[in-house]
A and B are shown apart, each in its own frame.
Chain A
Amino acid sequence: SQQGEEDPQALSIQEGENATMNCSYKTSINNLQWYRQNSGRGLVHLILIRSNEREKHSGRLRVTLDTSKKSSSLLITASRAADTASYFCATDARGSNYKLTFGKGTLLTVNP
């Protein structure tokens, strides 16, 4: 069963705008990760946030984690056409021995 669920399923924005994607999960976690997948390619790790962290930044990416609400958000600022991809959250549930479970993803389209 899916642990993480991304919202929205699809998002279309203009270049330069910010994109926000959300992830909700069901059980307590050790950490939560975000991955990016260009069409038909392998997934690429973007950022990892631990359960005791609330916010993390990496370049134009900002990730927040609210363990009380069991949710996370990924913000991409000043988006570019090259950011067009699917974005997945993956959770590492407590007791899973650091085995990741992925959500179904958000398809982000950035229009030039």
Chain B
Amino acid sequence: DADVTQTPRNRITKTGKRIMLECSQTKGHDRMYWYRQDPGLGLRLIYYSFDVKDINKGEISDGYSVSRQAQAKFSLSLESAIPNQTALYFCATSDFAGELFFGEGSRLTVL
């Protein structure tokens, strides 16, 4: 099994719908992150959490919310999806100061 698992892997939805992307990890890391990747723009940080009681906004948090249900689970929600949220979303984990471990990504298309 993968260390970082994202579901769903692909999702097509309509404008205005609520969407949740889920992430679970078996690394035992306290730190979890949600990134968004758009062609030509690299990865941008949406939200991050350094432990279960800690949630922080990244550089592009507007239109998104997160929930850290447990050390191993970190979900990203789009309350009312819009077309410019069409992107590839990545969850990642890390220990205190080391490398990030990424999931395989969730490709979201908002029509």
Shortest CB-to-CB span from B104 to chain A, Å, is: 5
CB-based nearest B residue for A46: B99
| Contact A45 B100, CB 8 Å, known A1-B59, A40-B88, A97-B50 | yes
Please report the C-alpha to C-alpha distance between residue A82 and residue B2 in the assembled complex, in whole angstroms.
22
Please report the C-alpha to C-alpha distance between residue A101 and residue B27 in the assembled complex, in whole angstroms.
21
- Total residue contacts A-B, CB cutoff 8 A: 51
Residue positions of A touching B, CB distance < 8 A: 1-2, 30-31, 33, 35, 40-45, 48, 88, 90, 92, 97-105
26 residue pairs from A and B, CB less than 8 Å apart: A1-B59, A33-B99, A33-B100, A40-B88, A40-B107, A41-B105, A42-B4, A42-B102, A42-B103, A42-B104, A43-B43, A43-B92, A45-B100, A45-B101, A48-B99, A88-B43, A92-B97, A97-B50, A98-B96, A99-B45, A100-B45, A102-B35, A102-B43, A104-B40, A104-B41, A105-B42
Given contacts A30-B97, A88-B43, 6 further A-B pairs with CB under 8 A are: A40-B88, A42-B102, A43-B102, A88-B42, A101-B45, A104-B41
